[in-house]
Amino acid sequence: MPSIIPALQWLEGLAWTTAIRESSWGHPIIETAHVATTVVFAGLVIIMDLRLVGLAFTDAPVADIQRRLFPWQMAGLVPSMATGLLLCCVDPLRYYGNVMFRVKLALLAVAGINALAFHWTTYRTAGRWDEDPNGTATARRAGAVSLLLWFSVIVSGRLIAYNWFN
C-alpha cells in the first residue's frame, strides 16, 4: 500500500504552510478561530440533543428547534472545518503521528454518519414525536447517542495537545 507520508512531507514543505508554521501568530489565530467556531457549532448541536433527550426546551416542538437552529449549526461547522483543515495542512506530520488526532478523526466520522443517518431516517418522523410516546423514546435515544459522540469529539480534540501515547 502506498504511504501517505511523502504527500504529507510535500504539504509540510510548501512555502505557505512553512511560513504559517514558523510564524508566531499562525497557530494562535487559526486554533482560536477553530475553537470559537466549533463552540458555536457543537453548542447548538448539544442544545438540540438536550431537547431530544428531554432535558431542556421541552415546550418547543423538536422540528421547530431543529429547523431554526440548523442554519446556525452550519454557520459554525463550515469555518470550524476550514480552520481545522488549515491546522492539518500547516503541520501535517505532527497530526499524522498523534494518536489522539486519529481517535478524534474516527469519532468525528462516526458522529457525522450518525448525524446524517438521523437527518435522513429518524428525523422524518419528527412531526409525530410531540404527541407519540414511542417517538419520544426514539428522540431520546438519538439525542443521547449524539451527545455522547460530540462530547467525545470535543474531549479527544482537546487532548491532541497532549502527546500521551506517542
Partner 1 sequence: MQAFVEWCADLAMSQAYRDSLYLFALTQCLHLVAVTTFIGAIVIVDLRLLGLGPVRQSRAGIARSAERVLLWAGLVVLVTGIPQFTTNAFSYYRSPVFILKMWLLAAALIFTATLRRWVALADEGRLPPWAPKAVAAVSLALWMSVTIGGRMITYY
The DSSP result for 49-110, as a single string, is: HHHHHTSS-TTS-HHHHHHHHHHHHHHHHHHHHHHHHHHHHHSHHHHHT-HHHHHHHHHHHH
Nearest distance from C-beta of residue 60 to partner 1, angstroms: 4
Residue closer to partner 1 by CB (options 8, 30) is 30
Query: Which of 5, 68, 119, 121 is close enough to bind partner 1 by CB under 8 A?
Result: 68
Question: Which is closer to partner 1, CB of 8 or CB of 98?
Answer: 98
Q: Which of 20, 45, 89, 142 binds partner 1 (CB under 8 A)?
A: 45
Q: To 5 degrees, how large is the angle CA 87–CA 112–CA 42? A: 65
Count of residues interacting with partner 1 (CB under 8 A): 35
Distance from C-alpha of 59 to C-alpha of 33, rounded to nearest angstrom: 34
Which grid coordinates are listed for 99? 494518536
Is there a contact between 135 and 125 (Cβ–Cβ < 8 Å)? yes
Among 18, 19, 28, 93, binds partner 1 (CB under 8 A): 28
Binding residues for partner 1 (CB under 8 A): 28, 31-32, 35-36, 38-40, 42-47, 50, 55-61, 64-65, 68-69, 72, 151, 154-155, 158-159, 161-162, 164
